[in-house]
Structure formats: C-alpha cells, structure tokens
Amino acid sequence: MIRRTAEADLIRLRRYEIPIKRVARNLCLDPALIGAIMSQESRVGLLLDNGWDQGRQKYGLMQISRQQLQPYVAWDSEEHINQCSNILVLSINEVRARHPTWTWDRQLRGGICTYHARMGNLQVYEEDPCSSDYNYVNSVIRRAQYFKRNGF
C-alpha cells in the first residue's frame, strides 16, 4: 500500500524537486525525508484545499499547524518547505538533546514523531506514539527509502 502511494506521490513530488533539494542542502537534511513527510501529510498537495487540510487546522505540503506557521507563506512555496523543514530540524535536535544515548536512528524517528505530534516528552519508544495505528514514523521512513531509491 505504501509503495503504491509513494509511486503516485513521486510524480507530484518531481514538481518540487529543486526547492526540496535546495532546502535539504542548506539544512543538511535528506531530501527524501522532506518528500516523505510531504507524501505522508498531504499526499504532496493532493489532499489539500487551497493549502489547508479538511479541518483547516494544518497548512501546506508538510501540514504544519496554524500555531507553528509564522508568517504565512504560499502553501507550496520553497519558503514553506524551508519553514517546515526548519521545524523538523528543531524537532530532531530536541530529541537528540533529550536522549543523547539513543542511536541516530532512534533520534531521527523521535524527531519525525515530534514534528508530527508536537510531543513534549518521549518516554516510550518501542511503539510509534504518533498515530493511533502506530505506523506514522515507519510509513515516513519507508516512503523516504522509496524516494531515495528513485532520485531524491
């Protein structure tokens, strides 16, 4: 299921390849990770109405909450990708600071979870606390792996 979704999203993702790679290079992020979050959160814009989710609480390709989005920029712009990717970097660094003994993989997974859920404290790690079906982080990782194999 994730592979088919990622295959379809890869076509839409190509439209944003240059800004994604530019932002990733500037922030020392893997562009495949940025693309995977776009795919997971908004199906690279497919699920959005003028940039907003159905509840009009999250905005843009990477679906950041109203409270975190300052200032408002075009939902599919490089500025938006940069703004949200900076929040992702801050989330990863927050987890790294709180859990210095975790492996890099666990810190990255915790950062992805923190980006998504805005969790203040990650105590339990064996299951993915980011979604009711415990699959959010694994889905993002699998999408990123697929995108990386396909040029991101």
Residues designated as active site? 41
Distance CA 13, CA 45 (A): 9
- Radius of gyration in angstroms for the set of CA atoms belonging to the chain, rounded to a whole number: 14
CA distances from residue 37 to 2, 6, 97, 99, 115 in whole angstroms, order as listed: 13, 11, 22, 23, 10
Q: Please count the CA atoms within 13 angstroms of the CA of 129 that sit on its side-chain side.
A: 14
Only one residue has tokens 């600071």, namely: 97
CA distances from residue 94 to 21, 70, 107 in whole angstroms, order as listed: 23, 20, 9
